[in-house]
Amino acid sequence: MVRDLMLPTHVVVCPTEREPDGLALSSRNVYLGTRRRRLAVVLSHALRAAEALYRAGNLDRASLLGAARGTCARVVEAQMALPPDQRAVFEIDYMSLADPDSLEEVDVVDPSRGAVVSGAIRMLPLEQTQEGEHVGHAGGPLVRLIDNTILPPRDT
């Protein structure tokens, strides 16, 4: 957009600030509570799974986003096996693989350009709480978490 509108601005891309466990820092995190907070790192882990495949040589969208979605699916499956007062549930909002400049979706990563893999999940309110459980600010509402990872250009 800066380029399109010819704005006299230089955009500096930098890594996302994260908690020690990998969760992207966000003011929204206070709404998660203890149980959902533990699970919230799934999005970061999903993006890292896509990144690992990219670093191993995979360039196609289906493989990269499949790895991310697979990571999420395994966590959902494990959570659904727990009783309602112990599980936390989320839904994938989107997973994206995009050109680093235009942010247009790509089917195959151009290794000379790299890409941005990103996603969003909706952490659903807890189905059932335990006595005294910290559910997060405002009673633990639905929380939408977003994250991204830059897949850097690499030698071809």
CB 43 within 8 A of CB 58: no
Return the residue matching tokens 């990872």: 149
Q: Is the predicted pLDDT of residue 143 greater than 90, yes or no?
A: yes
Residues 59-99: tens digit of each pLDDT: 999 999 999 999 999 999 999 999 999 999 999 999 999 99
Query: What pLDDT score was predicted for residue 100?
Result: 94
Provide the token pair at 145. Answer: 């978490």
Residues 6+ apart with CB under 8 A from 101: 113
Query: What pLDDT score was predicted for residue 99?
Result: 96
Name the average pLDDT for the chain.
Answer: 95
Q: Which burial class, exposed, middle or buried, applies to 25 when counting CB atoms under 10 A from its CB (0-12, 13-18, 19+)? A: exposed
Provide the token pair at 39. Answer: 């699970």
Kindly report the CATH class assigned to 33-151: alpha beta
Cα–Cα dist 106/104, whole Å: 6
Query: What pLDDT score was predicted for residue 8?
Result: 86
Query: What pLDDT score was predicted for residue 21?
Result: 95
What is the SS3 assignment for 127?
coil
What is the SS3 assignment for 124?
coil
Q: Model pTM?
A: 0.91
Provide the token pair at 130. Answer: 């335990």
E strands within 49-142? Answer: 90-98, 115-123
